[in-house]
Structure 1
């Protein structure tokens, strides 16, 4: 196991505990204790996963999350924060975070989430999809339609991949939030409608095959291929 994990956390005691547990699991660990130090490390080196505190001095986690996803979109990010409000959770996931944990952290749960995120990264890295006029490169998180690259946000990409992997199945909006956003929360499901709308605007493929099932949710129809 050679996965590299960066811990960006200004509470040094907590950072040390996280690092200890990760090292016991065989991960290579790196630490940063404020936003500036974290930004420097992600600019200098690529990591498989980053555990990112939101509230930090010098540069907050939101800014760093945007930076991470812009320069290394395939890097998994688990946000940590003392604030558990739904608005914060949704905002972080919208920005492209892969998971969200509220402090105080359970180390057992954190390690489990790290393993799950790295497993999903490993299983997807070798995959490539070709449907109709679109090509999707999982590792590079790139989508091409008629050989033209299409710019998708991290969650637009994740939603598209999930639907393609589960064709002809109807999913409720709550199910999509849980499966794609990786956090089971009882909140506003309009974010799904927004992302579907954006996918349809950007990809003719989605305009044709990503169907609304009225009163239920969405499905990707592939029976016409």
Structure 2
């Protein structure tokens, strides 16, 4: 997959040879890369740089990777965080995910694996960086605001587009009406939450989803798209 110009990565690791190796490889892939040898420097760079992805080593002296992750997420940054660890430890992975990490890679790792995980995070969190993103039978072009399903273009209103995009990008997750209203209509929306049902019904018609197999209703909980 071709990297979109302007994609920014921040690497934080106290091992200079790892930083140099990753910086060279990722720069050659077309990313804009900045590096830091310690957590505090990394936090300061992140504040100014606003990276799309931060790759953070867990085991660093002083401020460890968990604290760096926690502070970055607390700041409200939209950065997607991939943690690096020398330990393939379930407790470490759970701890990292619980404080906001988006993915985990255990050392030693291949450059190709890390690159694949970076692209996965970009597709999930920043689909607008790519001309086209594929989610199962769905194809999304956020620049053109176009959606297709099973290779058929869907003719959607702006709100239908944003609703379907939110459902598809969060496939496998049950989304309540309140959550959908907040993310699609905005937290200051004053209308009836049943507007969600109206738009879901319209999307099902356009997807020919008569049996509710694409957009599932989870009784008492909300809606879920399964790919």
Q: What's the TM-score, normalizing by structure 2?
A: 0.60
How far has the Cα of 1:145 moved from its partner? Answer: 8.0
Describe the shift of the 1:56–1:221 C-alpha distance in structure 2 as closer, same or farther (beyond 3 A). Answer: closer
1:55 Cα deviation from its structure 2 partner: 1.0
CA contact (8 A) 2:50 2:77 kept: no
Question: How far did residue 64 of structure 1 move?
Answer: 0.8
Give yes or no for the alignment of 1:80 onto 2:84.
yes
Deviation at 1:137, TM superposition (A): 3.3
Segments of structure 1 that go 5 or more residues without pairing to the other structure are 148-165, 171-206, 211-219
Instruction: State the secondary structure of the residue aligned to 2:187.
Output: strand
Kindly report which structure 2 residues correspond to 1:46-65, keeping only aligned pairs within 5 A, or say none. 46-65=50-69
SS in 2 for 1:64: helix
1:191 aligned partner:
none
Q: Which residue of 187, 190, 194 maps to 1:144?
A: 187
Question: Quick one: distance in 1 between partners of 2:220 and 2:188?
Answer: 13
CA distance in 2, matches of 1:57, 1:73: 24
Superposed, 1:11-50 pairs within 5 Å as 11-50=15-54
Question: Shift in Å at residue 44 of structure 1?
Answer: 2.5
Shift of 1:48: 0.5
Supply the distance in 2 between the matched residues of 1:17 and 1:221 (Cα, whole angstroms).
41
- Indicate yes or no: 2:156 matched with 1:110: no
Contact 2:9 2:34 in 1 (8 A): yes
Greater alpha carbon shift after TM alignment, 85-94 vs 68-77: 68-77
In the other structure, the counterpart of 1:208 is 220
1:135 pairs with one of 174, 181, 184: 181
C-alpha contact (below 8 Å) 2:40/2:68 kept by paired residues: no
Per-residue CA distance 1:54-82 (angstroms, 9 max, x = gap): 11122111111111112244211110010
Which residue of structure 1 aligns with residue 216 of structure 2? 168
1:64-113 deviation digits (Å, cap 9, x = unpaired): 11111122442111100101111111111121211100001210111111
After TM superposition, the structure 1 stretch with the greater mean CA deviation from structure 2, 120-129 or 60-69, is 120-129
- 2: CA distance, partners of 1:143 / 1:78: 29
Three-state SS of the structure 2 residue aligned to 1:15 is helix
Quick one: distance in 1 between partners of 2:91 and 2:215?
31
SS at match of 1:10: coil
SS at match of 1:137: helix
Q: Could you say if the C-alpha distance between residues 57 and 25 of structure 1 is closer, same or farther in structure 2, counting changes exceeding 3 Å?
A: same
